[in-house]
Amino acid sequence: MTTRYRVEYALKTHRRDQFIEWIKGLLAVPFVLYSQPTGVFDKKAASIARMAEESHRRYAEIFRDVEHMIDDHISRQEEDNNLPSKLKLLVPSAGPFFTRLPLEAAFNHMDERRLISSRRYVSPSFNDVRLILNAAQIMAVTAAPESPLQLATFDGDVTLYDDGESLEPSSPLIPRLLDLLRKDIKIGIVTAAGYTTADRYYDRLHGLLEAIAASKDLTPAQKESIVIMGGEANYLFEYDPSSPHLLAPVPRERWLTPEMAAWSEADIAALLDVAEAALRDCVKTLNLPATLLRKDRAVGIIPTDPLFRIPRESLEETVLVVQKILELSALGSSAQAAGHSVPVVSPGDGTDLTPSPTPSPTPSPPAAPRRRRRVPFCAFNGGRDVFVDIGDKSWGVTVCQRWFAAKAGRPEQPIAGESTLHIGDQFLSAGSNDFKARSVGTTAWIASPAETTELLDDLLARV
């Protein structure tokens, strides 16, 4: 029983997205009922055209029903009674939705492109559903005139460029990113790469930065509508045409949110100490050919030989072990998204963490225990390495929302979640650092720079 529990739950569910898997399961029924695999050799079987028509109708009905369930979920998440929606009961991991999703229209669009309804042997796949959700989100963020898209944030590796590569001048993404700036859509590149100097980010993004500098039709304000947020949420760089690397670091005191400013430096150091010890233990236990790397706001392991790839399973095991150790400590909180502070009682005071009702007035109430906020962190699998960063991309995207609002003279009105789109490749619940961005804005889940290019084409055609 223990072994089966480990295999079926602990080691597999972290590689799945419950919402997509649930939709995929709904679509499996009409596929089984209406697909015609015998049509390959049986002349009496129904025609492919008739099969595709009926399958399309049933698939569209399912997406329409899910669309209505999301509408109900959105209406309930705005109520104060915290009663779960039907969708929340069916998919407990369902989080907030910032916009409604026109899933039926998105399915019709993707079915024309991918001919999902015409398939006889391959049922609607995870990737089919993922791309339909992306299409629905693009339709949503470009449909509402009262809340147009204002900010697009991007992951780096696998989103803008291949893993470990750079954004070269020849990249087809560069003209599309410039088009976003021309349309006054702000850009934030929110990457896990935790460089402290501008030259390292210039090396990775020089194609885009040089294109912005050389552009004749971008206004100075549009050129300054791009920032780089490094280390998830730890280093902010703004565009600076006078800098040799076209980027200038922004001091933390200018962009830290009030919640981030409350994180204790001592607690940050203590959290990284615990993470470092956990990583050392994993290197020893799994006999990993890895070297530990400690930074001021992160700690991780990298291969001793840059040409060697640590097995994915070993990287995932390391992420899950370190994450669990940090969650059980008195310092870290991987569940704390931007804007949701989690106070904890100082170690050793023996106080129950369960909230208690407001006490009635007494002549001498007992002194309240000293409380502090847990430090948010993100343990993630970078494909070749494992790192633990302070904060996560929900905080990085939040900083971008507040930064551009402040530059526009609206510091108290940050860009809203429904006007923000984060595009990335890592959205699985464990070991994936784009996942947390779902709590502060709309998202699109891509799998390659080519998919990002296609997504931006759809987006720009609708803006």
Residue with tokens 């001793």: 304
What confidence score (pLDDT) does residue 317 get?
A: 94
What confidence score (pLDDT) does residue 445 get?
A: 95
Q: Where are the domains of the chain?
A: 2-141, 148-344+371-463
What confidence score (pLDDT) does residue 423 get?
A: 97
Residue type at position 410 = R
How do the pLDDT tens digits run along the chain, 463 residues long? Answer: 444 444 444 444 455 789 999 999 999 999 998 887 765 555 555 577 888 899 999 999 999 999 999 999 999 988 888 889 999 999 998 989 999 999 999 999 999 999 999 998 999 999 999 999 999 999 999 986 766 899 999 999 999 999 889 999 999 999 999 999 999 999 999 999 999 999 999 999 999 999 999 999 999 999 999 999 999 999 999 999 999 999 999 999 999 999 999 999 999 999 999 999 999 999 999 999 999 999 999 999 999 998 899 999 999 999 999 999 999 987 766 656 665 544 433 333 433 333 333 444 444 444 444 455 689 999 998 888 999 999 999 999 999 999 999 999 999 999 999 999 999 988 875 545 788 899 999 999 999 999 999 999 999 999 8
Cα separation of 307 and 182, whole Å?
40
**Does the reported pTM lie above 0.85?**
yes
| 252 φ, ψ (degrees, to nearest 5) | -60, -35
Is the Cβ–Cβ distance between 325 and 407 less than 8 Å?
no
| 448 φ, ψ (degrees, to nearest 5) | -170, 160
Residue with tokens 């009635």: 360
Residue with tokens 């956990």: 278
What confidence score (pLDDT) does residue 432 get?
A: 58
What confidence score (pLDDT) does residue 90 get?
A: 96
> Is 157 a residue of the active site?
yes
Residue with tokens 């529990």: 5
What confidence score (pLDDT) does residue 357 get?
A: 39
For β-strands 332-333 and 420-424, DSSP reports them as unpaired
Please state the three-class secondary structure of the chain as a single string: CHHHHHHHHHCCHHHCCHHHHHHHHHHHHHHHHHCCHHHHCCCCCCCHHHHHHHHHHHHHHHHHHHHHHHHHHHHHHCCCCCCCCHHHHHCCCCCCCCCCCCHHHHHHHHHHHHCHHHCCCCCCCHHHHHHHHHHHHHHHHCCCCCCCCCEEEECCECCCECCCCCCCCCCCHHHHHHHHHHCCCEEEEECCCCCCCHHHHHHHHHHHHHHHHHCCCCCHHHHCCEEEEECCCCEEEEECCCCCCCEEEECHHHHCCHHHHCCCHHHHHHHHHHHHHHHHHHHHHCCCCEEEEECCCEEEEEECCCCCCCCHHHHHHHHHHHHHHHHHCCCEECCCCCCCCCEEECCCCCCCCCCCCCCCCCCCCCCCCCEEECEEEEEEECCCCEEEEECCHHHHHHHHHHHHHHHCCCCCCCCCHHHEEEEECCCCCCECCCHHHHHCCEEEECCCHHHHHHHHHHHHHHC
Cα separation of 213 and 322, whole Å?
42
| Catalytic member of 155, 389, 392, 425 | 155
| Catalytic member of 157, 267, 385, 434 | 157
Q: Which residues, in sequence order, are bridge partners of residue 152?
A: 187, 421
Residue type at position 73 = H
Task: Select the CATH number that applies to the domain covering 148-344+371-463 from these four: 3.40.50.1820, 3.40.50.970, 3.40.190.10, 3.40.50.1000.
Answer: 3.40.50.1000
Cα separation of 83 and 427, whole Å?
26
Residue with tokens 């009682």: 345
What confidence score (pLDDT) does residue 170 get?
A: 96
Cα separation of 207 and 204, whole Å?
8
Residue type at position 177 = L
What confidence score (pLDDT) does residue 48 get?
A: 78
